[in-house]
Structure 1
């Protein structure tokens, strides 16, 4: 078949919606009830799609429907395509109503994103900004699936960047913090790390390799963390209630540093930093997305 017409012309939007609903529910009868049609009618729609695509989309196990390998692949692309169509239709509505869905890492959520959100609200009062926070791997999965329109956070790894665009905004330091009045203040940092409970980023966090390299360079490659987290609520709470020290991106704890609740312990390392920017799928649009990106660029320039 000609690559320009890889999808069969008989595939309709109703086929795609039915497929995605079944994939989400895993049950034909539940989807049929939600759509207000009979189960046999829904089964025929699914059968038509599988015939047009030339592959089974589901594995039937009793009443449950599980995606086949081909179905899982098609779902990923179909979800993105449907979201793009809906975003395009929303962009044509008067006032550009709609929702802009953003994935955001904790290092950006504390100070940078609130500034962007408030300015965006002034420009697009009819656009709802929906922000999803979480670890990098989770946000990138949502981006690939089309569940968010853009991720603002750390530079993705080489294996994640295919089909994506990353725009650098600024460099963010990774620092070592502890509670005010910590007994390790003024002492060599390596000794403090060897003696005090250490909180490290999870192994899945993009900043973890830089922290591991720092520890290795200081003869602490065998250091076992007491806790692994980048959660402000958890890390802050543990530091304030103990002598633990925490490696974390400066942006996550910026308010705690300014208030004096937490203090920075000098590491003497210049390489403990990483790029922060915006990652999105290529050729993607959503209500307010262009202005969101421009506001982020403007704020990043002020930070420099």
Structure 2
């Protein structure tokens, strides 16, 4: 079947931006057009496809089943066209840009070495990194706004339909500042853990469930005083300057533990390791820069495993 020639590039751009923003108003702002123009463009596309693409509500818009099906192909097709235009303008000899989505668990551990490797091998390469929760980053990957997503995300529902390549496993650990009161007592009474503020990943994220499981194993409820964040920098500074307990990905605190700036709180519990890896969109043709990045990630993961015996 031939593609309906009534479908224009502006229809696809509008559809993708609405899906990305979850709001007609925000999409209109990003596209620099009026909200009525966005509504009209979407209506035209829905009439051409004979399908309702979004459900409207007071909270915004969400893709219908038909919208999700169309999104799987519209995002990669627009990305491929944009990549083709870029390659003609810059020349095929240019490395271009690789767009990475990176979860906080690998932001300060694996990624710096990956960027170093890429820049040593490819002087013209721009590495663009976006951070955030796995659900958001995987949605961005699905619509073609990212080339790869790196981190621990195998339990995220948004991974359905995407491809995941395992690199290594990591676990969650409990860490505190040096001199913390819990380091001076017998931790057979694990209820003492509930007396101190706790730092956790955001509720609803992939790694929060593993963090919660450590407190379940201790047989206690989470303290009411909690800091919920994906910011490794904020978590580190807060724990170092307070009596809080941090339920952290081992990768995120490995160097702090080695330097003695944080101390492992050993309760005799072990949370099973989760899979850290590379997620890609099989509907998208991988760019040369994305292939280089995947190779660098694999090489860095091997070295990381050898160095830290993950």
The answer, yes or no, to whether TM exceeds 0.5 is yes
Alignment-derived partner of residue 153 in structure 1: 151
Q: Distance in 2 between matches of 1:254 and 1:283?
A: 36
Q: Partner residue of 1:36?
A: none
Write out aligned runs for 1:99-110 (5 A): 99-110=97-108
Partner of residue 21, structure 2: none
- Retained in 2: the 8 A contact 1:20–1:79? yes
The answer to whether the Cα contact below 8 Å between 1:175 and 1:267 also exists between their aligned partners in 2 is no
Question: Structure 1 residue 249: deviation in Å?
Answer: 0.6
Partner residue in 1 for 2:294? 293
Paired residue total: 288
C-alpha contact (below 8 Å) 1:178/1:239 kept by paired residues: yes
Report if the CA contact (8 A) 2:14-2:27 is conserved: no
> Which digits, 9 at most, give the CA deviation of each residue in 1:60-119, with x for residues without a partner?
9xxxx9788589544664233201222345456322342211110111110210100111
| Partner residue, 2:139 | 141
**CA-CA distance at 1:169 after TM superposition:** 0.4
State the TM-score, normalized to the length of structure 1: 0.79
Secondary structure of the corresponding residue to residue 7 of structure 2: coil
Q: Which moves more between the two structures, 117-126 or 66-75?
A: 66-75
Q: How far apart are the structure 2 equivalents of 1:267 and 1:203?
A: 23
User: Cα deviation per residue 1:191-245 (whole Å; 9 max; x = unaligned)?
Assistant: 441322222222222222223222222211x223522223222212221221111
The answer to whether structure 1 residue 120 and structure 2 residue 122 are counterparts is no
RMSD across aligned C-alpha pairs, in angstroms? 3.5
Cα distance in 2, alignment partners of residues 173 and 97 from structure 1: 35
2:169 — aligned with what?
171
- Measure, in 1, the Cα distance between the counterparts of 2:200 and 2:43: 50
Equivalent residue number for residue 224 of structure 1: 223
- Check if 1:31 corresponds to 2:14: no
Question: Which shows bigger deviation, 153-162 or 13-22?
Answer: 13-22
- Report if the CA contact (8 A) 2:52-2:64 is conserved: no
Partner SS state of residue 148, structure 1: coil
Alignment match, 1:82: 78
**Structure 2 runs not aligned, ≥5 long:** 19-23, 306-310
Q: Distance in 2 between matches of 1:30 and 1:214?
A: 48
Which residue of 2 is the match for residue 16 of structure 1? 12
Gaps of at least 5 residues in structure 1 are: 33-38
Q: 1:68 to 1:156 in 2, by over 3 A?
A: closer
Q: Distance between the aligned counterparts of 2:39 and 2:218, measured in 1?
A: 63
Mapped partners of 2:295, 2:247: distance in 1: 31
How far 1:51 sits from its partner (Å)? 4.8
- 1:194 aligns to what? 194
Are the equivalent residues in 1 in contact too, given 2:94–2:124 (CA < 8 A)? yes
CA offset at residue 248 of structure 1? 0.5
Q: 1:155 to 1:68 in 2, by over 3 A?
A: closer
- Cα offset for 1:26? 2.6
Query: In the aligned structure 1, how far is the partner of 2:53 from the partner of 2:99?
Result: 28
- Change in CA separation of 1:56 and 1:205 when aligned onto 2, cut-off 3 Å: closer
Q: 2:273: which partner in 1?
A: 273
Deviation at 1:279, TM superposition (A): 0.6
